A and B are shown apart, each in its own frame.
Chain A
Amino acid sequence: MEIKYSEITKKYGDKKAVDGVNLTLNNGVCALLGANGSGKTTLMRITAGILDATEGSVSLDGRNIKALDSSYRNILGYLPQNFGCYKDFKAKDFLMYMCALKGIDGDFAKKRCKEMLEEVGLTEVQNKKIGSFSGGMKQRLGIAQSLLNEPSVLILDEPTAGLDPKERIRFRNMLCALSKERIIIYATHIVSDITFLADRVLIMKDGKIVADGSPEELIEIAVGKVWSVNVERSELSRIQARYSVGTIKDGDNGFVNVRIVSEGKPFEEAVNVKPELDDVYLYFFGEVSEDAEAD
């Protein structure tokens, strides 16, 4: 299957939340990485068909998703960034309700609900009201509902937000176990999720896709731009103002080891190190104030 975006632009007033995105997605896991407000949710909503783009169109296998209408929604699974539900519903009832809306009925619906509750580890609380759930539990319920209809297009907007480390790993494994015969798009800020899961990473900035490739290809971008240097602790704030600083490690004698992402060599003594995906993120989003760069 193939989802194609052509010239997708979404304007809120004068502001372009998504700005002329041209993209083709194929089967596999595609991660959308970007800072707050970069337009990820907006793009996801457009893909899910609940938001109309100001310009451009999205098509699935060459057919506009607006024209496909219910046929498209039938194969769609979507987890919104924040979702609301009837808080008086019990977890199980909520999933059954979602099954009804997704056109799944009878014994198959019951079977799917049971399976999904097990997948996300909510079997024990299936008879508790959603209103009493913690943020992470609610998030897991959201993940469960998105998978009920075994979607061919799965859109997840920050699925791991609010999950504890154990649940995060469970989610990762769950996504890995899903058949690859589907398009999975997920937005995230968490770089480590991507390293394990994504076949393809898109980096979004100010509504535009600024980088597109496999995790390895993206890491390639930062080769030769990541530096490690030992500096005096007192210099730290000056360096942070001037460069994109990654991890800082404590050293001896008032020295610290700093990881810097910079086009050129920041210091004489700096040495090139092997980049990681974190560094790529910093490369695109580590804002350095203009005047600091000038001097």
Chain B
Amino acid sequence: MIDKQLKETLLLYQVEKPGSEQIEKAKQIVLKNERPIKAPYISAKRVVSSQIQTVSNWFWLFSLMFVFAVVYLSFKINNQLTTLFLCGATPLLSIASVPVVLSNIDASRMELEGTCLIKPQTVFSAKMLICGCFDLIVIIITLLFSSQLSEINIVRSAVLGLISFTASSFLCLGASLIFKTQVAISLVSALYAVVVACFVSMNFLSEKLLEIKMPFLVLAVVINSAMVYAMYSVAIKNYSFEKVAKRFGNKIF
């Protein structure tokens, strides 16, 4: 391909026909200059594994404590209400992931990470993916336990868990776009947990919840997921060095 193009180009100069040696030489020059222009491919797995070490130990600790508390509680008080509450209480985990996600929103660190091969947006997404996946795993564990012990159907409780998971993720992302401090964002999530708790403890409401037909619940999951995705897109769009520096200032360390 290059050979043909080069030959044609060199012929345009209307000098004597370039020999194969000249073409080879010209080709080498082109290729040499072309060298830096190809970036290597980095797999998603590598990005995610690079980010795992940046997740604070507190996040793992908090999550584990949460799992233990849940397992303990579901053994202690096994009824439908607990299960419902557990399905709704996942936002507590989102609170744990807030500092993790926020810790990356730091202009001075972005200045460093933002000039590397991997885009800071990708780094940010990887972090959220780690927290999200871990939350999901924890939720699955807690649901398995609690639905075993109560009469709620496991599929129903899984769907309820997903609704809460997506709603809390949406809230967390949204709050991180509006508020600047961890405290404010954590408060929003905590408020959500309280609302869920109240909702569950009001008998007539929770009974209604258990009567809702499955298709409607699934629809709610789909709608929530779409909303999370939309919020994620907005968050990523706002995740450039300039915008972050404007919001958070250029703090160091």
| Contact surface of A with B, Cβ cutoff 8 Å | 1, 45, 48-52, 61, 63, 68, 70-71, 73-76, 78, 80, 82-88, 93, 97-98, 100-103, 105, 131, 142, 145, 149, 152
Residues B108 and A97 in contact, CB atoms below 8 Å apart = no
| Contact surface of B with A, Cβ cutoff 8 Å | 33, 36-40, 42, 46, 49-50, 53-54, 56, 103, 106-119, 123, 240-242, 250-253
Residues B115 and A48 in contact, CB atoms below 8 Å apart = yes
| A227–B108 CA distance with the chains assembled, in angstroms | 44
Picked from A51, A52, A71, A80, the residue with its CB within 8 Å of the CB of B37 is: A71
Give the distance to chain B from A279, nearest Cβ to Cβ, in Å: 34
Residues B109 and A83 in contact, CB atoms below 8 Å apart = yes
| A101–B114 CA distance with the chains assembled, in angstroms | 9
Give the distance to chain A from B120, nearest Cβ to Cβ, in Å: 9
Residues A50 and B119 in contact, CB atoms below 8 Å apart = no
Residues B252 and A82 in contact, CB atoms below 8 Å apart = yes
| Known contacts A71-B38, A105-B46, A80 near B116 by CB under 8 Å | no
- Closest A-B pairs by Cβ, 3 of them: A84-B108, A100-B50, A101-B116
Residues B115 and A50 in contact, CB atoms below 8 Å apart = yes
Give the distance to chain A from B109, nearest Cβ to Cβ, in Å: 4
Give the distance to chain B from A11, nearest Cβ to Cβ, in Å: 12
| Known contacts A50-B241, A100-B50, A74 near B253 by CB under 8 Å | no
Contacts of A145 in B (CB 8 A): 112
| A84–B107 CA distance with the chains assembled, in angstroms | 8
Complex: chain A residue closest to B110, CB-CB: A50
| A198–B114 CA distance with the chains assembled, in angstroms | 27
Complex: chain A residue closest to B119, CB-CB: A70
| A68–B36 CA distance with the chains assembled, in angstroms | 10
Contacts of B110 in A (CB 8 A): 50
| Known contacts A82-B250, A100-B46, A45 near B117 by CB under 8 Å | no
Give the distance to chain B from A64, nearest Cβ to Cβ, in Å: 12
Residues B54 and A86 in contact, CB atoms below 8 Å apart = yes
**Which of A49, A74, A84, A103 is most buried by chain B, counting CB atoms within 10 A of its CB?**
A84
Residues B109 and A84 in contact, CB atoms below 8 Å apart = yes
Contacts of B54 in A (CB 8 A): 86, 97
Complex: chain A residue closest to B242, CB-CB: A51
| A78–B117 CA distance with the chains assembled, in angstroms | 12
Contacts of B103 in A (CB 8 A): 86
Contacts of B242 in A (CB 8 A): 50-52
| A131–B253 CA distance with the chains assembled, in angstroms | 8
Residues A98 and B252 in contact, CB atoms below 8 Å apart = no
Picked from A63, A83, A93, the residue with its CB within 8 Å of the CB of B111 is: A83
| A78–B123 CA distance with the chains assembled, in angstroms | 18
Give the distance to chain A from B117, nearest Cβ to Cβ, in Å: 4
